[in-house]
A and B are shown apart, each in its own frame.
Chain A
Amino acid sequence: MHRKVAANGNEAIANAMRIANPDVCGAYPITPATEIMQRFTTFVSNGKVKTEMVLAESEHSAMSACIGAAAAGGRVATATSSQGMALMWEMLFIASGLRLPIVMGMANRALSAPINIHGDHSDGMGARDCGWIHLYCENAQEAFDNMLMAFKLAEHMDVRLPVMVGMDGFITSHAIQTMEWIDDETAANFIGEYKSTNPLLDIKNPVSYGPLILADLYMEYRKAQEHVMSGVPKVVLDIAKEFEQISGRKYGLFEEYRLDDAEVAIVVMSSAAGTTKEIIDQFREKGIKVGLLKPRLFRPFPYAEVGEALKHLKAVAVLDRADCFGGSHGPLYVDIASALYNYAQRPVLINKIFGLGGRDYMPDHAEYVINELLQITKDGKVKSVKEYIGVRE
Chain B
Amino acid sequence: MPTSLSLKELSKKEELFSPGHRLCSGCGAPIVVKMVMLAAQYPIIAANATGCLEVSSCISEYTAWKIPWMHSAFENAAATMSGIETMYRSLKKQGKISDEIKFIAFGGDGGTYDIGFQSLSGAMERGHDMTYICYDNGAYMNTGIQRSSATPFGADTTTCPAGSKCPGKLQQRKDLTKIIAAHGVPYVAQASPSHWQDLMKKVRKALEIKGPKFLNIIAPCNRGWRSQTNDAIRLSRLAVDTNYWPLFEIENGVTRITHTPKDKKELMRFLKPQGRFKHMFTSENEWMLTAAQEHVDAYWERLQREQECFAPQNGTRLPNPEHLNWQ
Contacts and interface: CB of A to CB of B under 8 A. Distances in A.
Contacts of B63: 208, 211
A208 B65 contact: yes
A57 interface: yes
Contact of B47 (A68, A76, A90, A201): A68
A68 B101 contact: no
B131 to A, nearest CB: 15
A54 B119 contact: no
B70 A68 contact: yes
B79 A61 contact: yes
B76 interface: yes
A372 interface: no
A22 to B, nearest CB: 9
Contact of B86 (A61, A69, A207): A69
A16 to B, nearest CB: 19
Nearest to A94: B72
Interface size class of A (residues with CB under 8 A): 35 or more
A70 B83 CA distance: 8
A60 B82 CA distance: 13
A31 interface: no
Contacts of B91: 23, 73-74, 201
A210 interface: yes
Interface stretch (B27-35, B52-60, B147-155): B52-60
B171 to A, nearest CB: 25
A155 to B, nearest CB: 15
Interface in B47-104: 47-48, 54-55, 58-63, 65-73, 75-76, 78-91, 93-94, 97, 99, 101
A65 B75 CA distance: 12
A140 to B, nearest CB: 29
Interface in A29-86: 50-58, 60-62, 64-74, 76
B90 A51 contact: yes
Contacts of B126: 54-55
B43 interface: yes
Nearest to A72: B87
B144 interface: no
Interface stretch (A159-167, A212-220, A226-234, A278-286): A212-220
A52 B58 contact: no
B80 A65 contact: yes
A76 to B, nearest CB: 8
Contacts of A206: 65-69
A90 B101 CA distance: 29
B220 to A, nearest CB: 23
B84 A68 contact: yes
A124 B286 CA distance: 57
Contacts of A209: 69-72
20 contacts: A50-B93, A50-B94, A52-B87, A53-B86, A55-B126, A56-B122, A64-B79, A68-B72, A68-B83, A68-B87, A69-B84, A72-B83, A73-B87, A91-B73, A201-B91, A203-B101, A206-B65, A206-B66, A209-B70, A211-B71
Interface of A: 23-24, 26, 50-58, 60-62, 64-74, 76, 90-91, 94, 98, 200-203, 206-214, 216-217
Given A76-B87, A203-B45, 11 more contacts: A54-B82, A61-B79, A68-B79, A69-B87, A72-B45, A76-B83, A202-B68, A203-B67, A211-B61, A212-B55, A214-B60
